[in-house]
């Protein structure tokens, strides 16, 4: 048999050049990033410019007030690091407050789920420390698209249509922006958001007033957002109750002081190793305040297989991959959280010994259990109890809110019908100096938080990922980071990063990238062929998003996997749902491969693109 990635011609060429490359989930963002490289900017300038454009052109997937973890490599310093663009819980956000409101879960939409916006501060911090271009060059493309318009993506139009009544009945500030002329805009209509353009322009002007260097301008713009007019507008707005997924109206907890006290942290990446035919590769991810280590845990379990042989058997590959994901996700749900607040035994969870102990749990049949292991001071029984309590809260909330009117959604991830509605964005950049950026902007979705009047942007609702169980490592606490699903990454050889990669996808992000990495690093597939390979994931996990349910034994596979493979997986006990042939995954990648700057992007969804030369 041949590997999955060799069963068809790639949809596009893998780009190869010597100058630089950008790959992202939207063609306008990719081209904007490339324009920065052409002007003499570096990967950090390019990633920030592309990210700001993504905030404008994919409003159903992210926004200026959202979240954005970044994994980067500064070639000049020879150092890789993580910028934690995940905002924290408000100072007054306590479990007792939600209990007083009669809530078992943090709502998936509205003011109560709002945390400190992280994206803009992360872009400005990255520019201030690594950027080279004047701030105006970096920000002008986003300002132009907000003011002059961009072709509204069909899925954005469909998302607006799905929450039209919510906007009309409850979120009037969103109706004013997203229902121009009182109607849902048509797909590819020229869509403008003048208030967002004005917000970006004012941030730019205040940045320029702060100084002439890129660093001074970036800091000036950051201060205007977190200690100036944006923070003031946010503080005033969240005091007014708005409708959320509980079916009731609630005021928020976020204040100007919460924004003023926040900056993105810089951390060392969490690193895992994968054996390949050409030597070990290191994979760099965020800490356990994100789900990034889940990818490393899966690779550690799969590393005990004959991977070249596994890649020749689609059924064995999907079965082993799904069962490894179940084990890794169970540990995520039992142990992961902000390590500044919780004791997360991440070194043990990612150790070869732990992986070796978990590997024999994968049998010939699909598991129907959530099976976290014992790690640190936590027994297996207590780890399982944590998951049982999470599912009980989800069941109680679903029962209590049955029949309530729609109030938007949490992160709009892949539906069980297999229709990828999208959920997040991603951008990867490699420049001619060896710098790399992998960034995953998300949050502040148009359908999950009302527009802040006058700013043209929404707030992030990542607070829905907190647990209200005080024994959980991801329990809500003031100033704590929610355990995000956002998961950018780098690949390194002999400790030197050379490839940036990532994907949107919520709980699927660190599942879709497993076959991508195996096909490319072990199977030798080109970047584009590895992205194009039929994808799959399991839903056998505690969902990170409201209402936090689990779908045991659930597996979704693209139809291109083939009916014989689907039948074989069903015989092994998997509850397989066959979805569209090109519906799972939005991976992109850019880096230095075989002596070239290379890049590739996802063909699914008709919007991802890579550019380079």
What pLDDT, on the 0 to 100 scale, is given for residue 244? 95
Rounded Cα–Cα distance for residues 583 and 536 (Å): 10
- Check pLDDT > 80 for residue 5: no
Q: What is the pLDDT of residues 72-110, one digit of tens each?
A: 999 999 999 999 999 999 999 999 999 999 999 999 999
What pLDDT, on the 0 to 100 scale, is given for residue 400? 73
Residues 6+ away with beta carbon under 8 Å from 11: 528, 532, 603
Instruction: List residues bridging with 285 in a β-sheet.
Output: 270
**Cβ atoms of 534 and 555 closer than 8 Å:** no
Total number of domains in the chain: 1
What is the residue whose two structure tokens read 């970044």?
70
For residue 610, which of 593, 596, 591, 594 has the smallest C-alpha distance?
591
In the chain, the percentage of residues whose pLDDT exceeds 70 is 95
The continuous run of DSSP H or E covering 274 comes out as: strand 270-274
Q: Count of alpha carbons within 13 Å of 404, Cβ hemisphere only?
A: 17
What is the residue whose two structure tokens read 């056998």?
540
Phi, psi of 476 (to 5 degrees): -60, 135
What pLDDT, on the 0 to 100 scale, is given for residue 80? 98
Rounded Cα–Cα distance for residues 406 and 417 (Å): 19
The continuous run of DSSP H or E covering 178 comes out as: helix 172-178
In a domain, 577, yes or no: yes
C-alpha distance from residue 264 to each of 121, 215, 409, 428, 506 (Å):
7, 16, 27, 19, 21
Phi, psi of 20 (to 5 degrees): 170, 165
Mean pLDDT of 360-378: 96
What pLDDT, on the 0 to 100 scale, is given for residue 241? 97
User: Which one-letter DSSP state was computed for residue 9?
Assistant: -
What pLDDT, on the 0 to 100 scale, is given for residue 547? 86
For residue 534, which of 554, 553, 512, 506 has the smallest C-alpha distance?
512
Rounded Cα–Cα distance for residues 37 and 26 (Å): 17
**What's the alpha-carbon Rg for the chain, to the nearest Å?**
22
Mean pLDDT of 578-589: 95
**Cβ atoms of 67 and 483 closer than 8 Å:** no
**Cβ atoms of 127 and 44 closer than 8 Å:** yes
In a domain, 56, yes or no: yes
Rounded Cα–Cα distance for residues 511 and 417 (Å): 18
Q: Residue 109, Cα to own-chain centre: how many angstroms? A: 17
Token pair recorded at residue 108: 């998936």
Return the number of other C-beta atoms located less than 10 Å from residue 384's C-beta.
Answer: 18
Mean pLDDT of 333-355: 97
Token pair recorded at residue 405: 């009117």
What pLDDT, on the 0 to 100 scale, is given for residue 423? 73
- Check pLDDT > 50 for residue 417: no
In a domain, 307, yes or no: no
Token pair recorded at residue 218: 């970036």
Q: What is the pLDDT of residues 189-241, one digit of tens each?
A: 999 999 999 999 999 999 999 999 999 999 999 999 999 999 999 999 999 99
Mean pLDDT of 345-352: 97
In a domain, 349, yes or no: no
Phi, psi of 518 (to 5 degrees): -65, -45
Q: How confident is the model at residue 418 (pLDDT cuts 50, 70, 90)?
A: very low
Q: What is the pLDDT of residues 21-50, one digit of tens each?
A: 999 999 999 999 999 999 999 999 999 999
Q: Alpha helices of 283-423 — where are they, by DSSP H? A: 293-302, 307-310, 314-335, 346-349, 352-358, 380-400
What is the residue whose two structure tokens read 């397989």?
576
C-alpha distance from residue 221 to each of 196, 201, 280, 408 (Å):
15, 10, 42, 31
For residue 238, which of 476, 545, 459, 59 has the smallest C-alpha distance?
459
Rounded Cα–Cα distance for residues 586 and 537 (Å): 13
Peptide bond preceding 537 in cis form (omega within 30 of 0): no
In a domain, 135, yes or no: yes
What pLDDT, on the 0 to 100 scale, is given for residue 112? 97
Q: What is the pLDDT of residues 539-583, one digit of tens each?
A: 999 998 888 888 999 999 999 999 999 999 999 999 999 999 999
In a domain, 324, yes or no: no
Token pair recorded at residue 187: 């797909």
Rounded Cα–Cα distance for residues 205 and 232 (Å): 18
In a domain, 466, yes or no: yes
Identify the domain containing residue 37 by its residue range: 4-79+86-268+404-612
User: 1-15, 337-351, 561-575: which has the minimum mean pLDDT?
Assistant: 1-15
In the chain, the percentage of residues whose pLDDT exceeds 90 is 91
In a domain, 284, yes or no: no
Token pair recorded at residue 111: 């003011």
Average pLDDT value over all residues in the chain: 94
Q: Which residues of 149-174 are buried (b: 16+ CB within 10 A; e: fewer)?
A: bbbbbebbbebbebbbebbeebbebb
Q: How confident is the model at residue 7 (pLDDT cuts 50, 70, 90)?
A: low
Mean pLDDT of 114-135: 98
Q: How confident is the model at residue 503 (pLDDT cuts 50, 70, 90)?
A: very high
Q: Residue 533, Cα to own-chain centre: how many angstroms? A: 21
Residues 6+ away with beta carbon under 8 Å from 582: 558, 560, 603, 604
- Check pLDDT > 90 for residue 306: yes
User: Which one-letter DSSP state was computed for residue 268?
Assistant: P
CATH of the domain at 578: 3.60.20.40
């Amino acid at each position: 048999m041949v590997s999955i990635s060799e069963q068809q011609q790639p949809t596009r060429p893998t780009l190869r050049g010597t100058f630089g490359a950008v790959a992202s989930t939207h063609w306008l963002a990719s081209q904007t990033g490339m324009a920065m490289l052409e002007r003499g900017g570096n990967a950090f300038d390019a990633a920030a410019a592309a990210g700001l454009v993504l905030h404008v052109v994919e409003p159903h997937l992210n926004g200026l007030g959202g979240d954005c973890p970044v994994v980067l490599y500064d070639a000049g310093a020879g150092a890789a690091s993580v910028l934690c663009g995940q905002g924290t819980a408000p100072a007054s956000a306590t479990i007792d407050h939600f209990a007083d409101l009669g809530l078992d879960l943090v709502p998936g939409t509205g003011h109560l789920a709002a945390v400190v916006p992280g994206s803009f501060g992360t872009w400005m911090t990255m520019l201030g420390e690594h950027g080279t271009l004047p701030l105006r060059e970096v920000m002008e493309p986003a300002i132009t698209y907000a003011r002059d318009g961009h072709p509204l993506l069909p899925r954005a139009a469909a998302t607006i249509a799905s929450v039209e009544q919510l906007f009309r009945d409850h979120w009037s500030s969103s109706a004013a922006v997203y229902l121009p002329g009182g109607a849902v805009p048509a797909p590819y209509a020229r869509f403008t958001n003048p208030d967002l353009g004005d917000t970006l322009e004012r941030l730019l002007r205040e940045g320029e007033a702060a100084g002439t260097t890129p660093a001074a301008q970036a800091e000036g713009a950051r201060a205007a957002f977190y200690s100036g007019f944006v923070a003031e507008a946010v503080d005033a707005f969240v005091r007014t109750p708005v409708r959320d997924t509980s079916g009731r109206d609630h005021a928020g907890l976020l204040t100007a002081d919460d924004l003023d006290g926040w900056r993105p942290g810089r951390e060392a990446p969490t690193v895992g190793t994968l054996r390949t035919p050409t030597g070990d590769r290191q994979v760099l991810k965020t800490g356990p305040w994100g789900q990034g280590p889940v990818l490393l845990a899966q690779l550690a379990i799969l590393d005990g297989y004959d991977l070249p042989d596994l890649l020749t058997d689609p059924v064995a590959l999907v079965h082993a991959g799904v069962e490894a994901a179940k084990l890794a996700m169970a540990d995520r749900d039992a142990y992961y959280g902000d390590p500044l607040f919780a004791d997360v035994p991440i070194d043990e969870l990612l150790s070869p010994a732990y992986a070796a102990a978990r590997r024999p749990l994968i049998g010939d049949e699909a598991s129907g259990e959530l099976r976290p292991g014992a790690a640190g001071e936590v027994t297996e029984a207590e780890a399982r109890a944590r998951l049982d309590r999470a599912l009980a809260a989800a069941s109680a909330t679903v029962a209590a809110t049955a029949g309530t009117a729609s109030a938007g959604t949490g992160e709009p991830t892949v539906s069980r019908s297999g229709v990828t509605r999208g959920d997040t964005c991603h951008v990867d950049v490699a420049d001619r100096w060896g710098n790399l950026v992998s960034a995953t902007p998300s949050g502040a979705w148009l359908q999950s938080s009302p527009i802040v009047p006058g700013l043209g942007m929404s707030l992030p609702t990542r607070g829905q990922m907190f647990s209200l169980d005080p024994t959980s490592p991801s329990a809500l606490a003031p100033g704590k980071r929610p355990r995000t699903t956002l998961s950018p990454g780098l690949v390194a050889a002999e400790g030197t990063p050379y490839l940036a990669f990532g994907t949107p996808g919520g709980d699927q992000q660190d599942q879709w990238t497993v076959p991508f990495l195996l096909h490319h690093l072990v199977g030798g597939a080109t970047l584009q062929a590895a992205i194009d390979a039929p994808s799959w994931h399991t839903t056998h996990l505690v969902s990170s998003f409201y209402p936090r349910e689990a779908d045991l034994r659930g597996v979704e596979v693209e139809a291109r996997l083939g009916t014989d493979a689907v039948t074989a997986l069903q015989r092994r006990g998997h509850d397989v749902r066959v979805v569209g042939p090109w519906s799972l995954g939005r991976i992109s990648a850019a880096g230095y491969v075989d002596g070239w700057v290379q890049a590739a992007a996802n063909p699914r969804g008709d919007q991802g693109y890579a550019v380079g030369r």
